[in-house]
Structure 1
Amino acid sequence: MAARAHPDVPKELDRYLIPSEQIIFEIRRHKILLAEPFLSTVLAFVLALMVDNWLNGSAPVLRNIMYGLALVVLARFVYKWTDWYRELFLATDRRLMLVYGIFTRKVAIMPMSKVTDMRYDRTIPGQVFGYGKYILESAGQDQALSVINFVPDPDRHYQEISAVIFGSGAGRDSRTGMVSSGSGGALPVNEPENLWWNRK
C-alpha cells in the first residue's frame, strides 16, 4: 500500500488533495452550533418526565406521545451532531476547502489565487465563546465558498490564511508543517464598537 501524502488529516481528504499541497490547518466548526440542539433535547426529556410524573400512570397515550416527541428531538440532535462531525474546513497553501454532507459528500473550494480580500467579523457572542466569521471576496465571480462562519480559534486561523493569501513572508514550521503568520503585524478585525469593557 502506498504511503499517504497527507497522513495528518482524515483519510477521506486524500482524494481531494494533490500530493504537493501543504496543509495549513484542518478544523471543525465551533461546537456552539450544537448548543441549541443539545438544550432542546434536554428540555424535551425534562418535559416528558414532568408530564409522566404529573399524569401518575394515567393517560398512557399522551405519555407515549410525549416520549415519542422527545425521541424525535433526540434524533434531531444526533443528526446535527453527525453533520457537524462530518463537516471539515481545510486550508492549504493553494485553496480553502469545505467538505460537508452526511449521505452525499460535497466539496466547496475557494482557490487562494482567487481571493482579493478577506474580512473577519467577531460579534459579541463570538468574542465570548471564541468563534468568528470570514468573508472572502474573489476576483470577477462568485465562489462556492465565500462565507465561513463559526470558525474556532479565529485569530490564529485568520493570520494563517492571511499569510498565504497576502504573502506576508510567512514561514512554515518544519516540525508541525503549519504556516506561521510571519510578520506579526496587526490585521484588520471588525468588532462591535463601544463595548462596555472598552469604555473609559
Structure 2
Amino acid sequence: MAFYDEFLHPDVDRLLISDQGEIVVDEVRRHPVRIVVPVLGIVLAAFVFMAMPFVAGVAGAGYLVLFIIGILLVLWGVWRIHSEYMDRFVITNMRVFRVHGVFTQHVATMPLQRILDIAVERPFMGRLLGYGHFVFESAAQDQGLRDIRFVGRPEERDRTIQRVIQRSGARKSFVDGSW
C-alpha cells in the first residue's frame, strides 16, 4: 500500500483485532444526501467558469476574481465529498466504531457489552430519502461514539447491531417461548 493510499481510502481492516477473531459485520458509509451541497458547490463553480468570458470584456480584475472563486468552490466541494467518503461506521462481532478524517484520523470505539440503548431518529427528509441517525447510550458518562448521523437504511442497521449483541452473549435470549 502506497503512502498516499492511506489518505485516499478508509482502511478499516487495519483497525480490527484479527488475532482475537474480530470480523466486520457491516461497514456503513454516510448516506449520499451528505454530498448534495458539495456537488451543488461544484456545479456553481462550473457556472462561475462559464460566466468568465462575459465578465472579462467588462473588467480584467473581475476575470481573476471569478477564477479564484471558481477554484475555491471546486476545491471545497471535492474536499467535502472526500471527507464524507472517508467517514465510516463499522459494526463488528465485538464492537462498533467510527473512523473519520482525512489528514487527522479520529477513531471512536464502543464494545457491544457497553451498549445499553440505541435510539434511531428519522427526520421527515430521512424517511423520504432512506436515512436516519443513531444515538447510542452507554453506561459511560462521556463517550466518543454517541451520535452517528446520516446512516442509510437505519432500521436494517439497528437490527444488525441487535443481532450481533444477542449473538455475543451480552444479553439473555428468549429460548423456550414462554413468559
Same fold (TM over 0.5): yes
Counterpart of 2:115?
115
Q: Is the 8 A contact 1:37 1:80 kept in 2?
A: yes
Spell out the pairing of 1:1-200 with structure 2 (5 A cutoff): 12-19=11-18, 20-50=21-51, 52-53=53-54, 55=55, 57-165=57-165, 167=166
Q: Is the 8 A contact 2:16 2:23 kept in 1?
A: no
Q: Is the 8 A contact 2:24 2:91 kept in 1?
A: yes
TM-score, with length taken from structure 2: 0.80
Counterpart of 2:6?
none
Quote the offset at 1:73 in angstroms. 0.7
Taking the aligned partners of 1:146 and 1:60, their CA distance within structure 2 comes to 52
2:11 partner SS: helix
Taking the aligned partners of 2:128 and 2:82, their CA distance within structure 1 comes to 25
Give the stretch that moved more between structures: 109-118 or 12-21.
12-21
Q: Kindly report structure 1 stretches of 4+ aligned residues shifted beyond 4 Å.
A: none
5+ residue gaps in structure 1? 1-9, 171-200
2:58 partner SS: coil
Quote the offset at 1:15 in angstroms. 2.6
Q: Supply the AA of the counterpart residue of 1:136.
A: F
TM-score, with length taken from structure 1: 0.72
Aligned residues: 158
Q: Is the 8 A contact 1:123 1:132 kept in 2?
A: yes
2:50 partner SS: helix
Q: Is the 8 A contact 1:110 1:146 kept in 2?
A: no
Q: Supply the AA of the counterpart residue of 2:11.
A: E
Quote the offset at 1:136 in angstroms. 0.5
Q: Supply the AA of the counterpart residue of 1:16.
A: L
- Superposed CA RMSD in Å reads 2.1
Quote the offset at 1:51 in angstroms. 5.7
Taking the aligned partners of 1:11 and 1:103, their CA distance within structure 2 comes to 11
Quote the offset at 1:48 in angstroms. 4.5
Q: Taking every aligned residue pair, what percent have the same amino acid on both sides?
A: 31
Evaluate the alpha carbon distance shift between residue 29 and residue 114 of structure 1 in structure 2; reply closer, same or farther with a 3 A threshold: same
Q: Is the 8 A contact 2:10 2:86 kept in 1?
A: no
Taking the aligned partners of 1:60 and 1:117, their CA distance within structure 2 comes to 61
Q: Supply the AA of the counterpart residue of 1:33.
A: R
